[in-house]
Chain A
């Protein structure tokens, strides 16, 4: 992580008091923290293997205060790391030791619900689920539903382009937002997107989405709301062979059905979640598929019949239709609790987020199983099968010397596998600090240079979340050299730099 410090001119520790004093010119004293015990809670996000204490933590609660923070940091060349709820899994909100950690926790108000236009204007710290809850009485909801939705913030969702189990049909965060208010590094407030379905100029709304706090700080989000579907039905299918399950996914789509959700879990993941939530999963199955269909009552009835037929044809050993809403939620509860469930059977786990073309599913799972044996680490799998987004969870114990390093090594191998089959190193969790090395494999020198140029257009001094998301060419050169020694470089023909 040497890049983290070397990217910007660090402020000397002695400046801490001066920066804090400048911040306090506008922020109340209790919103500027720097004593170790006060900043300790911010030392990591959901990827707790990486920890750093920030120099200062600020907790602004007005846009004007955020603008002031940015101006102070910009003038003094102090790095700024935005933080939502800190549930990120790639270390995106990992503090900078010489920087300000800007928490948006106090921006937790829903500002406006406009049911006629089906939009809600919310502050970035509002929790994802809180939006759907607030509009439920209007029979509306906000579609992207990450498993972390009770905790994660909408600002963090935008910054990561978060997805959920309903993305195949309803899209990711980028498809479900209409505009953003963003404070730039020089403290200007800009509106990106508009009140209509499009806005003039470049699609900065898309560019900001998934930009991991590297281009600006989001201080308001206008999200699109969808009418709750009239009917929803969930089918659980068990398979004694993962390949059949993978094939069923392709066949459902080939039949012209776009399920609202299409999720898969393998046997170790089924067992772990069943012990935890008692969802009544078939614990002997090699894998299960959860296929949800929504729409008008007639449509759902028709499609469910077809789904059941396809599942049967693909060799499902058991097909269960949720009898009622309660059972539907029960079936989902296992999938949604997969991470904490795995957390119970292992002291630590490491979540991977590669996306692959669906056709490579069986191949990739088989190769992961081989790697798992090779490294002596268990790897249960849950994933968004409809989108080809894998979440292998490597189980390890950080207290065993060397095990975290082995885990990271294995994770890297799995990501390289995803690239090799034409996929990507991250579907929804972002690059952060975690996957920065693999970025060197997915992109070449010219592409990385273009990313840096885009960043510079917003943040010429490189103060926003430095060292994250896009590796320096220098770093890639070091990483490339390391890998050539291992002799396992996937594309030896690609020039290293």
Chain B
């Protein structure tokens, strides 16, 4: 698959851009182009750099090039009874591994299984000077050098162009079921919190304003006994529901108004205004459809100890991510400079000024 290795070309593109100070717009399938700040720049398409480089199921590790389509990767894992435990959202057929890791988004399993960064073991990337760098590796534990692999997750391509990513994978659960329990918001939040502090095989939980849905995953006997403890009705649309939630395809998300993602402690009380909202991640991730002023939304999120992201729609030229405290902002700028001194990698995608 040597022809799928485009390391040299990508390095060359970055070097040329660095020499002329040309901003690059680094991307894969563009399925997440709506996310982050809108930027302009010369396209650096990494899709040709693709393919699974190594996969050994008994090592629980897969390494693939950044341009590998997520569907291709997931199909290969599925064949061996394994999966990406963080359930990355695709947002379209063309989604690539590199895009999923750069955006750092995780699906409904996140509070129980972990996030994309929790499963990243190593990356190969090209920094803003066109140097090919390899960090971490393909082993479970590795503390040699700073953890730059995980730093790349969610950096939106501002620190380096990802070439290859090694991930920890896990066996797919033998059995899965979804239960539905109708209740009010306050009960839903306290119920999800109570489950989280008990040894139950919960792998997702979501409240849509009327019904609390919970997914149980594990051995058949384990799931069955948990089912008895939790009660509720078995939901017929189980699997499809979680996929639609992950892909933001539920009716709730079919809306053109600005969509906010609010990340707060799971115990935060439900919003008491009339705006449409939906609770995922056991209450720790809240979707809000609101045209309200960004400052007001952020103020509420901050007051709860969390942050708010203008996930989709709204003004993409303003700040879409939560502003950073001044000291943190300084560290961020310096880090950006450390990886990309010319400021050519997706400048402004994360924050306006850099």
- Contacting pair A389 B201 (CB below 8 A): no
CB of A295 within 8 A of CB of B218, answer: yes
Contacting pair B143 A253 (CB below 8 A): no
CB contact list, A423-457 vs B, under 8 A: 423-431, 435, 439, 442-443, 446-447, 450-451, 453-457
Kindly state whether residue A466 has any CB partner on chain B within 8 Å. no
Taking the closest CB of chain A, its distance from the CB of B215, in whole angstroms, is: 15
A175 close to B325 (CB less than 8 A): no
Give the docked Cα–Cα distance between A422 and B323 (Å): 40
User: Shortest Cβ distance from B290 into chain A, in angstroms?
Assistant: 18
Q: Which residues of B contact A118 (CB under 8 A)?
A: 196-197
Q: Which residues of B are found within 8 Å of A298, using beta-carbon distances?
A: 219, 221-222, 224-225
A:133-165 near B, CB below 8 Å = 138-140, 160-161, 163
Do residues B221 and A302 form an inter-chain contact, with CB atoms below 8 A?
Answer: yes
Partner of A431, one of B144, B193, B198: B144
Residue B171, interface by CB 8 Å = yes
Question: Any chain A CB within 8 A of the CB of B138?
Answer: yes
Do A431 and B143 touch (CB < 8 A)? yes
- Which residues on the B side are within 8 Å of A189 (C-beta)? 327
Determine how close the nearest CB of chain B comes to the CB of A470; give it in whole angstroms: 7
Most central of A194, A195, A442, A455 by chain B CB within 10 Å: A195
Residues 242-263 (chain A) with a chain B CB within 8 angstroms = 250-251, 253-254, 256-258
Chain A, 291-325, CB within 8 A of any chain B CB: 295-299, 301-303
| Interface assignment of A406: CB less than 8 Å from any CB of chain B | no
Q: Is A62 an interface residue (CB 8 A)?
A: no
Known contacts A299-B221, A450-B338; A227 and B147 CB within 8 A of each other: no
A14 at the interface (CB under 8 A from B): no
| Residue A376 is within 8 A (CB to CB) of chain B in the complex | no
Nearest-neighbour CB distance to chain A for B339, whole angstroms, equals 7
CA distance A201 to B332 in the complex (A): 8
- Whether A207 lies near B151 (C-beta < 8 A) is yes
Task: Give the residue of A194, A207, A230, A389 whose beta carbon is less than 8 angstroms from that of B146.
Answer: A207
Q: Does A77 contact B (CB under 8 A)?
A: no
- 0/1 string, A173-200, CB within 8 A of B gives 1: 0110000000010001111101111111
Q: Is A168 in contact with B140, judged by CB distance below 8 angstroms?
A: yes
A456: which of B322, B327, B338 is its contact (CB, 8 Å)?
A: B338
Task: Judge whether A175 and B59 touch: CB under 8 Å.
Answer: no
Contact of B151 among A117, A206, A359 (CB under 8 A): A206
Specify which chain B residues have a CB less than 8 angstroms from the CB of A48 in the assembled complex: none
Please report the C-alpha to C-alpha distance between residue A455 and residue B335 in the assembled complex, in whole angstroms: 9
Interface residue? A387 (CB, 8 A): yes
Chain B residues closer than 8 Å to A472, beta-carbon distance: none
Contacts of A191 in B (CB 8 A): 325, 328
A-binding segment of B43-51, B236-244, B301-309 = B301-309
B139, B151, B199: which contacts A295 (Cβ < 8 A)? B199
Q: Given A450-B133, A453-B338, do A194 and B307 touch, yes or no (CB 8 Å)? A: yes
Instruction: Give the Cβ gap from A476 to chain B, nearest Cβ, in Å.
Output: 13
Cα distance A196–B307 in the bound complex, in angstroms: 8
Q: Which residues of A contact B248 (CB under 8 A)?
A: none
B8 within 8 A of A: no
Find out whether the CB atom of A387 lies under 8 angstroms from the CB atom of B151.
Answer: no
Beta-carbon contact of A359 and B56 below 8 Å: yes
B-chain residues with CB within 8 Å of residue A356 when the two chains form the complex: 139
Q: In the complex the two chains form, is A197's CB within 8 Å of B115's CB?
A: yes
Q: Judging by beta carbons under 8 Å apart, are A190 and B328 in contact?
A: yes
Q: A200-B322, A201-B324 are in contact. Are A167 and B145 (CB under 8 A)?
A: no
Bound-state CA distance A295–B350 (Å) is 40
Q: Is B7 in contact with chain A by the CB < 8 A criterion?
A: no
- A384 interface residue (CB < 8 Å to B): yes
- A422 adjacent to B137 (CB under 8 Å): yes
Residue numbers in B under 8 Å from A210 (CB-CB):
143, 146-147
Pick the residue among B146, B199, B335 that contacts A228 (CB under 8 A). B199
Contact, CB under 8 Å: A163 / B141: yes
CA distance A163 to B127 in the complex (A): 30
Partner of B281, one of A171, A197, A254, A386: A197
Do B133 and A447 have beta carbons less than 8 Å apart? yes
Q: Which residue of B lies closest to A457 (CB)?
A: B334
A–B complex contacts, Cβ < 8 Å, 15 sampled: A198-B307, A200-B307, A201-B350, A202-B154, A203-B104, A203-B153, A211-B147, A227-B198, A388-B139, A427-B140, A435-B144, A447-B134, A454-B146, A454-B148, A454-B335
6 shortest interchain CB distances as A-B pairs = A195-B305, A299-B222, A206-B150, A298-B221, A427-B141, A457-B334
Given contacts A425-B144, A456-B338, could you give 7 more A-B pairs where the C-beta distance is less than 8 Å?
A116-B267, A184-B331, A197-B285, A201-B324, A357-B59, A443-B134, A443-B144
Residues of A within 8 A of B (CB): 115-118, 138-140, 160-161, 163, 167-168, 171-172, 174-175, 184, 188-192, 194-204, 206-207, 209-211, 214-215, 225, 227-230, 250-251, 253-254, 256-258, 295-299, 301-303, 355-359, 384, 386-389, 422-431, 435, 439, 442-443, 446-447, 450-451, 453-458, 469-470
Q: List the interface of chain B (C-beta within 8 A of A).
A: 56-61, 81, 104, 110-111, 114-115, 117-118, 127, 131-135, 137-148, 150-151, 153-155, 159, 170-172, 174, 193, 196-201, 218-219, 221-222, 224-226, 263-267, 281, 284-285, 304-307, 309, 321-325, 327-328, 331-332, 334-335, 337-339, 350-351
